[in-house]
Amino acid sequence: MSKRTRTSKIDKWIKEGRGSGIGADYKPWLNIQDVSSVGRSTRLKGIKTGRQHEFLSDLERNYFYLTEYSDFVIDIREQFPLFPLEDTIVIADELGIKHPTDPYPDELIYSAISRFHFYSGNTSFVETLEELFQSRSLVPSIEFGSHFSTLVQNLGSNYSVESLLAQNTIYPYFAPFITIERQKKLFEDVSTNGQGIHGRLGISGGKISRKQGLFYCSKCANNDINIFGEPYVHREHQLQGIEYCPHHELTLKMYPVDYREFSRNGYIRFDRRQMDLSELQEIESCEFKEVQVKLAKMAYRLLQIPINQFSIEKVFKKYRTLLRENNWLMTNTRLKREELFRAFISKFPQGFFRKI
């Protein structure tokens, strides 16, 4: 079983042991260098714990002094992460404050909006749309999104249109295969009303069938529940033509809600009670598993590439060089078309292309 190659900050920090341990072994979830705060930060060696503490404000430091001198306190753990989520929802509710919704690693912005709506306690989606987008007439998009320039203002300074597009949409799956000019236009599309997106990517009415529904991997969902307290919609599971999870090599399952039945402004939130979280799978149905898993992993790698790194111009140049190097060109411009086609097809198992 291949290891998960996710490199998100949260995953990385959990692996480093941040937010866990006791006494001298406790590691703060946040360190001073992680936060670009305007407040005064302090590092102090604790007497009780015997380790260095990280304080992001004078208030935190002063509270530390109180706990350090109190006989009732036996351990001090600052910058403690608030997992699982069920608890923080209750806390926010009791205090009458809004529960923050940061997108999770590889979460579609669509999914983060659905969670935001759920915690907000808003009775209609229109209220949520107004809060996030200052718009009542926004049409949800699963793969991309729109009005990002308004959205990032409401999300705070940690986000930009570019970071959302790169990390929380399936756009990087397409970016290397469109022109620089189109990349720029698409950036404008998501910043504003999003209308031109599908046309610009050439996927409206395209031949490759679009996925009908939202998909998930049982093992990813179980991991997410363990780490974050809830499952969410991963972008790498919604890609056209991809039927396996790149991390766990399990077939993706469709979430049992017909999104066409949802009202126009609806956002579906994954509810674990509706999901099949068993990680056992029948093997006989996986005819083209090997090649499909490879494709899923390659697709996931595409999602991680910085969105401005490639364009069709660069890709085209690279292909030309490769064609020349491998002797697929008859003259400077003419291609050995038939032979190349046969060589390409022979790389895949028989019948594979008919199936997809």
Question: Does residue 297 bind Zn ion (CB under 5 A)?
Answer: no
Evaluate whether 231 touches 216 at the Cβ level (below 8 Å). Answer: yes
Instruction: Using the minimum distance from each CB to Zn ion, give the nearer residue, 279 or 313.
Output: 279
**139 DSSP assignment:** P
Site for Zn ion in 118-137 (CB under 5 A): none
Q: How far is the CB of 166 from Zn ion (least distance, A)?
A: 21
Nearest one of 174, 143, 139 to 237, comparing CA atoms: 143
Q: Which of 18, 53, 147, 219 binds Zn ion (CB under 5 A)?
A: 219
Q: How far is the CB of 219 from Zn ion (least distance, A)?
A: 4
Residue among 113, 164, 225, 245 that touches Zn ion (CB under 5 A)? 245
Site size toward Zn ion (CB under 5 A) is: 6
Chosen residue from 117, 247, 253, 297 binding Zn ion by CB under 5 A? 247
Nearer to Zn ion, 117 or 219 (CB): 219
Residue with smaller CB distance to Zn ion, 99 or 247: 247
Cβ atoms within 10 Å of 310's Cβ, excluding its own = 19
Please report where in the chains the tokens 């001298």 appear, as a residue: 24
Beta strands in the chain (DSSP E): 42-45, 52-55, 215-216, 253-254
Nearest to Zn ion of 176, 213 (CB atom): 213
Q: How far is the CB of 346 from Zn ion (least distance, A)?
A: 30
251 phi and psi, to 5 degrees?
Answer: -70, 145
Kindly tell me the burial class for residue 43, based on how many C-beta atoms sit within 10 Å of its own C-beta (0-12, 13-18, 19 or more).
Answer: exposed
Peptide bond into 81 cis (omega under 30): no
Residue 239 or residue 245: which is nearer to Zn ion going by CB?
245
Helices (H), 196-311: 197-201, 218-228, 289-304
Least gap, CB of 236 to Zn ion (angstroms): 9
State the nearest-atom distance from the C-beta of 223 to Zn ion, in Å. 7
Buried b / exposed e over 130-145, threshold 16 CB at 10 Å, is: eebbeeeebebbbbbb
What's the min distance (Å) between Cβ of 216 and Zn ion? 8
C-beta closer to Zn ion: residue 2 or 62: 2
296 binds Zn ion (CB under 5 A): no
Region of 30-38, 150-158, 180-188, 245-253 interacting with Zn ion (CB under 5 A): 245-253
> Shortest distance, CB of residue 4 to Zn ion, whole angstroms?
8
Does 248 participate in binding Zn ion (rule CB under 5 A)? yes
Q: Residue-wise over 200-224: b if at least 16 C-beta within 10 A, else e? A: bbeeeeeeeeebeebbbbbbbbbbb
Which residue, 94, 95, 140, is CA-closest to 117? 140
The least CB distance from residue 173 to Zn ion, in Å, is 17
Least Å distance, CB 254 to Zn ion, is 15
Question: Using CA atoms, how far apart are residues 229 and 217, in angstroms rounded to an integer?
Answer: 16
Residues forming a β-bridge with 348: none
The CA distance from 220 to 213, in Å, is: 18
Interface residue with Zn ion among 138, 155, 170, 217 (CB under 5 A) is 217
State yes or no: residue 220 binds Zn ion (CB under 5 A).
yes
Query: Nearer to Zn ion by C-beta: 138 or 250?
Result: 250
- Which residue's CB is nearer to Zn ion, number 54 or number 249? 249
Contact footprint for Zn ion (CB under 5 A): 217, 219-220, 245, 247-248
